[in-house]
Chains A and B, each alone.
Chain A
Amino acid sequence: MTPARRPTTPVFAALGLLVAGLGLAAIHVAVRAPGERARLAESTRLVKVLGLTDLALFTEARYTRHPSMADLHTAFQDNPMSFEHFPSGLFIAPPAHLPGGQIGQSEKDFPQ
């Protein structure tokens, strides 16, 4: 009678396939590279020509559509105490260049 097949045969084959899958992914990256360079070039050209400053990813509100251009006001336009209520606020932090608060306890805090 024939004994059963070794369990490592299908398992190692599956693992081998997955490793091959990673290899295929690397090939995919290389194959798509020139096309992607062209696409990025077109995108960059439009940014330069139109003077764009932000991605058109979160079009829900003004300060989510142009976070780099946002002022302190718009985020609180509904209510000064309101929490972030647009879902896209979960994905991007407020820009660092918005002026933060300074506790001016003495003249030393203000550069002359």
Chain B
Amino acid sequence: MTPWLRRQRALADYTLSALGRRKGKNISLVVIYALIVFLVASIMMFSSGMRREADLVLSEAPELIVQQLTLGRHELIAGGEVEKLAAIRGVTAAKGRLWGYYYDRLNGANYTVMVPDDPTIKLEQGQAILGEAIPRSRGLSWEGAPLFLSRFEGDLVKFDVVDTLSHDSALVSADLMLITEQDFRDFFGLEPDVYTDISVSIRNEREIATIIAKAEKVMPKARFVTRADISRTYQKLFDWREGLLVTLAIAAILAFGIFAAEKASGLSAEETREIGILKAIGWDTGDVIAMKLWEGALVSVGAFLTGAVAAYVHVFLGGAGLFAPVLKGWSVLYPDFALTPQIDVLQLTTLFLVTVLPYVAATLVPIWRVATGDPDQVMR
């Protein structure tokens, strides 16, 4: 071990002995500090994980969705509009989508009922494919258990559950109920040839704006939602600048500020005396400052490492279990999903700097003048 390393270790030994004189206070300081880092890091990891998931997965959302608006409210759209859209140059396909919400009185849950328009999904009349949260919520514990829905008092409709969508896609499909078009129209009492909205496929992304301009002329009362709009919506998910997270961010910054201010608020007579003793017995200014740096660093780096590792375990191994009740809110259904483990080095580095630098600086500030003074004061 080189002399420099030995010196650092000896200084750290002294710092720890000195901190150890107030063991309870210093341990609770580190614990509380670590808890705050844990909370902030957990939120950071969870939010970016969710946003990344949304970004990747919704990259295959329909290029354009066209909705009919009446009185500012989303209304059913007539089948004739589909041909109008399909006729626009650049549109590869326009399909009417059938989807809506069903409120299940039995468990208080909202289902998203959809008609799949894809040959790979095989459905017969009277059959349904469910997202993974519905069987859990309705207690359909055995395979093939039927789903009974009651739209109003005295009503009973039976669906044979032929398949459950995989856990892998839970985040986008947990509350889905897929049925045939005829079943859908019967169930919701829809006339033929009306749709919820129209999904438009466009080959060239750059043409979307021009196609919308053309479509607006043909359908002036319609609203157009692009894939980019969808993506932008989810970039604001769990954003630090929104809602609850703003409050948490302010609270965390305040907490860090309070820790630093407490440290920087000046030296007690005891501490001043001790630094005087150290200088008198042969420690120079550099030694005292190095020792104080160790004090600040051990506490803040220790808190950061503990909080960050605990946050990673919490979010990516524990499924962010502590956040689940908050996220679930008033929902009855909650998807059983796991986020992709991911370490954002830039984010972690920023958190490290915010955790460590102010605290270490605050430790040094009050002792600066004392450390540079002449030690003969201690002789008086």
Q: Chain A residues near B236: list those with CB within 8 A.
A: 92-93, 95-96
Q: In the complex, what residues of A have CB within 8 A of residue B1's CB? A: none
CA distance A40 to B302 in the complex (A): 35
A51: chain B residues at CB < 8 Å are 61-62, 95, 97, 117, 199
A8-B57 contact given A59-B332, A90-B244, CB 8 Å threshold: no
Main secondary structure of the interface of B (DSSP, over half): mixed
Which of A29, A60, A68 lies in contact with B343, CB distance below 8 A? Answer: A29
Q: Are A58's CB and B331's CB within 8 A?
A: yes
Query: CA of A42 to CA of B178 in the docked complex: distance in angstroms?
Result: 17
Q: Is B330 close to A, CB under 8 A?
A: yes
- B167: min CB distance to chain A, Å: 9
Knowing A7-B17, A44-B60, A93-B236 touch, does A68 contact B242 (C-beta < 8 A)? no
Give chain B residues whose Cβ lies under 8 Å from the Cβ of A29.
341-343
Q: Which of B168, B176, B199 contacts A56 (CB 8 A)?
A: B176
Contact of B243 among A6, A45, A53, A93 (CB under 8 A): A93
* B65 contacts the other chain (CB 8 A): yes
Docked CA distance A52–B59 (Å): 10
A22 and B307 CA atoms in complex are apart in Å by 11
Task: Enumerate A44-70 residues with CB–CB distance to B below 8 Å.
Answer: 44-62, 65-69
Task: Please measure, in the bound complex, the distance between the C-alpha atom of A73 and the C-alpha atom of B70, giving whole angstroms.
Answer: 10
A-B CB proximity, top 4 nearest: A87-B329, A7-B16, A18-B305, A90-B244
Q: Residues of A at under 8 Å CB distance from B?
A: 6-8, 11-12, 14-15, 18-19, 21-22, 25-26, 28-29, 32, 36, 38-40, 42-62, 65-69, 71-74, 86-93, 95-97
Q: Known pairs A21-B309, A92-B237. 6 more at Cβ < 8 A?
A: A14-B302, A40-B57, A53-B65, A61-B110, A72-B72, A96-B229
